[in-house]
Amino acid sequence: MKQNRALTILMALAMILAGTATAMAGHGRGHRGDMGFGGHGHGFIGKNFVRALDLSDEQKAAVGTILKANLDTIKTRMDAVMAARENMAGVIHGDSPTEEAVRAAFSQVASAREELVVLRFTMMNQIRTDVLTPEQIEKMAARQARRAERTGKMKERHAEKWAEFVEWVDSLIPSDTGESDTSE
């Protein structure tokens, strides 16, 4: 019975991991849309950014100049993230994946994402210091606070989904074995 339980849990975790890898292979397009530089995700240097902060024409031109100067680097780093995600999905869904190979592939994704995040930070910092007024910086901080609030709500939903998942895993195990007590 313990072997069946372990196998069931292993299969459930494999399904979750496969779903995660598939989602990650989607190049960052999740439920909030394109996560790149001009999209609706956390790129934050796109149309919504310009619109929300009500930039003057001069400020828009300055932001455009900063973005234009970095376009090649942006593209290179975004392509690196996509390639690393595709590689990881290929490793996970390959014929005989190993933990070591999955870890190595994930490290490549993390490294590529890190480079992209640092680039975004560098550009955003330049925009903050060279382009925005103190009022616009405050407005941006308020937007970030609202985003943090939404993140808190998302964490609550995640906890609920986790509880549902644990309940589902428990439902896979016959109750007469006495093994369905899973701690979180």
pLDDT in tens, 16-71: 555 554 454 444 444 444 444 444 344 557 788 888 898 999 999 999 999 999 99
pLDDT value of position 32 = 41
Statement: residue 9 has pLDDT above 60 = no
**Averaged pLDDT for residues 83-111:** 97
> Whole-angstrom Cα distance, residue 164 to residue 152?
19
pLDDT value for 45: 76
pLDDT, tens only, 122-168: 999 999 999 999 999 999 999 889 989 999 999 999 999 999 999 99
Per-residue buried b or exposed e for 143-166, using 16+ beta carbons within 10 Å of the residue's own CB = eeeeeeeeeeeeeeeeeeeeeeee
For residue 72, pLDDT over 70 is answered with yes
* pTM for this model (two decimals): 0.65
Helix (H) or strand (E) holding 126: helix 99-130
Q: What is the pLDDT of residue 134?
A: 95
